[in-house]
Amino acid sequence: DGGITQSPKYLFRKEGQNVTLSCEQNLNHDAMYWYRQDPGQGLRLIYYSQIVNDFQKGDIAEGYSVSREKKESFPLTVTSAQKNPTAFYLCASRRQGSTGTDTQYFGPGTRLTVL
Amino acid sequence: AQTVTQSQPEMSVQEAETVTLSCTYDTSENNYYLFWYKQPPSRQMILVIRQEAYKQQNATENRFSVNFQKAAKSFSLKISDSQLGDTAMYFCAFTRPTGNFNKFYFGSGTKLNVKP
């Protein structure tokens, strides 16, 4: 099946620890995104990547880091510098190309809780 | 700057009835895409419907249809014959076509409750 997978589904972190959230897609999409969603809120963009080995900061990048070594993978690391990391994290990829095909698809999300 | 506004934080509808969710956006672009996403309690974001700005015809997907008013910058979602499974958060989103990287801009969401 084609799609976007995120792991783990639930993640618990102690204060001061770095954690990495996995995002993998087999849709052959070039662009990938990380969003943060707080309870009852909309989506806020953390980082995005247009192509392999290139990524850009979004609106709330402080305390987060990413890598894009492979087209299929876009892991997000939540560092100890992120002061309030408890949230729901969504990964997405974007189908691009000919007119009429631009669409963003989402993974199932990871819920991160800081203990 | 692009902005997307959903002015209805929460709405309710009786099962089998019709409901309309509102969305307005602000852009100086002429060509762009608009989307409605559904986020049920599972929190998986699901694409409901998309609209290309250059198409005058309103998009339709089964019970879901949009009323796209380009001059008014309005993009409402109509759900006909509401079902209990339609209970979810609904997000309106905007993006410009790719070429240069373009972000997706999301509204703050409307929580829809379908009552039996």
What would the pLDDT profile of A8-65 be if each residue is shown by its tens digit? 999 998 888 999 999 999 999 888 999 999 987 889 999 999 889 999 999 999 999 9
pLDDT tens-digit readout, B37-94: 999 998 999 999 999 998 889 999 999 999 999 999 999 999 999 999 999 999 999 9
Q: What pLDDT, on a 0 to 100 scale, did the predictor assign at position A16?
A: 86
Which pLDDT belongs to residue A94? 87
* pLDDT score recorded for residue B79: 98
Are B9 and B111 contacting, i.e. CB atoms less than 8 angstroms apart? yes
In this prediction, residues B92-111 reach a mean pLDDT of 84
- Strands of A1-115 (E only): list them: 4-7, 10-13, 19-25, 31-37, 43-49, 56-57, 64-66, 76-78, 87-95, 103-106, 110-114
Contact: A31, B52; criterion CB under 8 Å: no
What is the model's pLDDT at position A21? 97
Using an 8 Å CB-CB cutoff, list chain B residues near A105. 47
Inspect the interface and report whether the beta carbons of A43 and B52 lie closer than 8 Å: no
Kindly tell me if the per-residue pLDDT of A2 is higher than 70: no
B104/A104 CB distance under 8 A: yes
Pairwise CA distance, residues A69 & A61, whole Å: 19
Prior bond to A8 cis, omega within 30? yes
Residues of A in contact with B91 (CB under 8 A): 42-43
Inspect the interface and report whether the beta carbons of B104 and A33 lie closer than 8 Å.
yes
What is chain A's alpha carbon radius of gyration, rounded to the nearest angstrom?
A: 14
pLDDT over 90 at B1, yes or no: no
Nearest 5°: CA angle at A66, between A64 and A67?
165
pLDDT at B34: 95
A43: closest CA among B86, B115, B93, B46?
B93
Return the pLDDT at B99. 61
Burial of A52 (0-12, 13-18, 19+ CB in 10 A): middle
Mutation site for B-interface testing, chosen from A50, A106, A112 by largest number of B Cβ within 10 Å: A106
Name the nearest CA neighbour of A37 among A86, A87, A76, A109: A87
AA identity, residue A102:
D
Kindly report the CA angle at B92 between B87 and B96, in degrees rounded to 5?
150
Q: Buried (b) or exposed (e) across B67-85, using 16+ Cβ within 10 A?
A: ebeeeebebbbebeebeee
**β-strands B110-115, B10-14: how paired?**
parallel
Query: Chain B contacts of A88, Cβ < 8 Å?
Result: 43
Measured between beta carbons, the chain B residues lying within 8 angstroms of A41 are 108-109
- From chain A, pick out residues whose CB is under 8 angstroms from the CB of B108: 41-42
**pLDDT band (50, 70, 90) for residue B29:** confident
Indicate which of B48, B101, B112 best probes the interface with A, i.e. most A CBs within 10 Å of its own CB: B101
